[in-house]
């Protein structure tokens, strides 16, 4: 049987009705950092995706990098997310929470006056948004070994909270220059202890996060997102990206992952990487593979033919709540409006029309 975007499958233990994944999309519509009623409607509208991966949800207050992003670390947030998972399940969909810690991509204005944390005290020299304007990220505090243990405990708590909120699984956000990615790369990690130096040390934090979250969720419910050749948030490209991420994949192949999800090229941008880089890396991945970045219908079918299990669409799902139906019918697509991507109300959020 030829597999298409419309063929059901399993991502680990998560059964999905089709190969459409709604990519994680930061939308900054939780002013109290708790999911809102409008967010229930937004996710419900998109439940025809085989799997929704939520927007990044910070695992702790120190994991937040932008105004109005929802968390997954306290009981009010669990109650808010529970309404969303119930709505998606009632509509026949599946939903995984994206567990996020921004590390150095933050500033005291967002962290109650505290400095952000990171593997090393190296500024991202990137921008974030504090609710009023775009501001510079500041030089982070380098985590001590004890503080790393505290962050792992925050991952455990968030993983447990996601389970309590009724999600089908979780995606560990290890992409886009945030905390886990900061530990991986030699551009952002200059530690000389067990978490820095050789590749095996720089992947230690990722290993410990994955083992912690898998311990909570069990086999086939934990996925991970990586962006090997992306310079998102000015993280810098590791001096040996192929070997670094090859070692990450070798480790992931020892774990009962639900899926591995790669941003192919620059996050939300060009599909560029050194020749053969992504192609070689993806063939090493033992878990179901989710391809992402700028996919059209035609490109997505080709990715499945090349062995991907599913394809994640971002901007297309922002503007087309019924994207699977539109692809199936060859119907026209709504255009996304970038002016309403981050923050604001229902406009550009829940008001994109479905097909009549």
Positions marked active-site: 178
**CA dist., res. 241 & res. 324, Å (int):** 34
Residue that the structure tokens 């900061």 belong to: 182
Spatial contact of 163 and 217, defined as CB atoms under 8 Å apart: yes
* Contact call for residue 68 and ligand 8OZ (CB under 6 A): no
Nearer to ligand 8OZ, 66 or 295 (CB): 66
- The length of the chain is 356
Instruction: Give the largest Cα separation in the chain, rounded.
Output: 60
Q: Which of 58, 64, 176, 293 binds ligand 8OZ (CB under 6 A)?
A: 176
Spatial contact of 176 and 92, defined as CB atoms under 8 Å apart: no
**CA dist., res. 176 & res. 199, Å (int):** 19
Spatial contact of 277 and 229, defined as CB atoms under 8 Å apart: yes
CB of 267 to ligand 8OZ, least distance (A): 6
CB of 2 to ligand 8OZ, least distance (A): 33
Q: Of 24-63, which residues contact ligand 8OZ (CB under 6 A)? A: 26, 56
Q: Of 213-242, which residues contact ligand 8OZ (CB under 6 A)? A: 232
* Contact call for residue 107 and ligand 8OZ (CB under 6 A): no
Nearer to ligand 8OZ, 123 or 266 (CB): 266
Nearer to ligand 8OZ, 35 or 324 (CB): 35
**CA dist., res. 219 & res. 273, Å (int):** 32
Cβ neighbors of 249 (< 8 A, separation 6 or more) are 260, 281, 284, 285
**CA dist., res. 162 & res. 174, Å (int):** 17
CB of 339 to ligand 8OZ, least distance (A): 14
CB of 356 to ligand 8OZ, least distance (A): 32
Handedness of CA 235, 209, 315, 65 (dihedral sign): negative
Nearer to ligand 8OZ, 11 or 53 (CB): 53
Partners of residue 173 on adjacent β-strands: 225
CB of 176 to ligand 8OZ, least distance (A): 4
Nearer to ligand 8OZ, 18 or 26 (CB): 26
Rounded to a whole number of angstroms, the distance between the first and last alpha carbons of the chain is 32
Residue that the structure tokens 């070692």 belong to: 247
What string of DSSP letters covers 200-213?
HHHTHHHHHHHHHH
Smallest CA-to-CA distance from 178 within 103, 265, 106, 118 is with: 103
* Contact call for residue 66 and ligand 8OZ (CB under 6 A): yes
Q: At 255, list the tokens.
A: 């774990």
Interface with ligand 8OZ (CB under 6 A), residue total 6
Give the other-Cβ count within 10 Å of 344's Cβ: 14
Residue that the structure tokens 């105004």 belong to: 67
Residue 317 three-state SS: helix
Q: Which helix (H) or strand (E) segment is 55 a member of? A: strand 51-58
CB of 29 to ligand 8OZ, least distance (A): 12
Q: Of 310-339, which residues contact ligand 8OZ (CB under 6 A)? A: none
CB of 232 to ligand 8OZ, least distance (A): 5
Q: Which of 57, 267, 320, 334 binds ligand 8OZ (CB under 6 A)?
A: 267
Nearer to ligand 8OZ, 66 or 273 (CB): 66
Nearer to ligand 8OZ, 26 or 188 (CB): 26
Residues that bind ligand 8OZ (CB under 6 A): 26, 56, 66, 176, 232, 267
């Amino acid at each position: 049987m030829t597999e298409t975007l419309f063929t059901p499958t399993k991502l680990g233990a998560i059964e999905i009705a089709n190969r459409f994944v709604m990519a994680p999309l930061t939308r900054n519509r939780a002013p109290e950092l708790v999911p809102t009623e409008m967010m229930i409607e937004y996710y419900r509208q998109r439940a025809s995706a085989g799997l929704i991966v939520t927007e990044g949800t910070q695992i702790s207050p120190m994991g937040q990098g932008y105004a109005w992003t929802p968390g997954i670390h306290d009981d009010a947030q669990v109650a808010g997310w529970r309404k969303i998972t119930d709505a998606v399940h009632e509509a026949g969909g599946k939903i995984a929470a994206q567990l996020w810690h921004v590390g150095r991509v933050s500033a005291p204005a967002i962290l109650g006056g505290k400095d952000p944390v990171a593997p090393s005290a190296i500024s991202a020299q990137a921008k974030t948004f504090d609710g009023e304007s775009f501001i510079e990220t500041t030089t982070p505090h380098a985590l001590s070994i004890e503080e790393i243990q505290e962050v792992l405990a925050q991952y455990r708590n968030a993983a447990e909270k996601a389970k309590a909120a009724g999600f089908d699984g979780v995606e560990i956000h290890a992409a886009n220059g945030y905390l886990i990615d900061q530990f991986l790369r030699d551009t952002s990690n200059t530690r000389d202890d067990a978490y820095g130096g050789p590749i095996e040390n720089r992947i230690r934090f990722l290993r410990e996060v994955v083992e912690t979250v898998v311990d909570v969720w069990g086999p086939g419910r934990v996925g991970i997102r990586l962006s090997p050749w992306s310079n998102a948030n000015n993280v810098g490209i590791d001096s040996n990206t192929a070997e670094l991420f090859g070692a990450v994949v070798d480790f992931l192949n020892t774990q009962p992952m639900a899926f591995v999800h790669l941003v192919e090229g620059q996050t939300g941008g060009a599909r560029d990487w050194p020749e053969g880089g992504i192609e070689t890396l993806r063939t090493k991945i033992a878990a179901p593979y989710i391809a992402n970045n700028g996919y059209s219908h035609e490109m997505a079918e080709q990715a499945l033919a090349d062995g991907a299990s599913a394809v994640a669409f971002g901007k297309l799902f922002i503007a087309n709540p019924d994207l699977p139906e539109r692809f199936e019918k060859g119907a026209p697509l709504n255009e996304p409006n970038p002016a309403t991507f981050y923050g604001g109300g229902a406009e550009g959020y829940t008001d994109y029309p479905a097909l009549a």
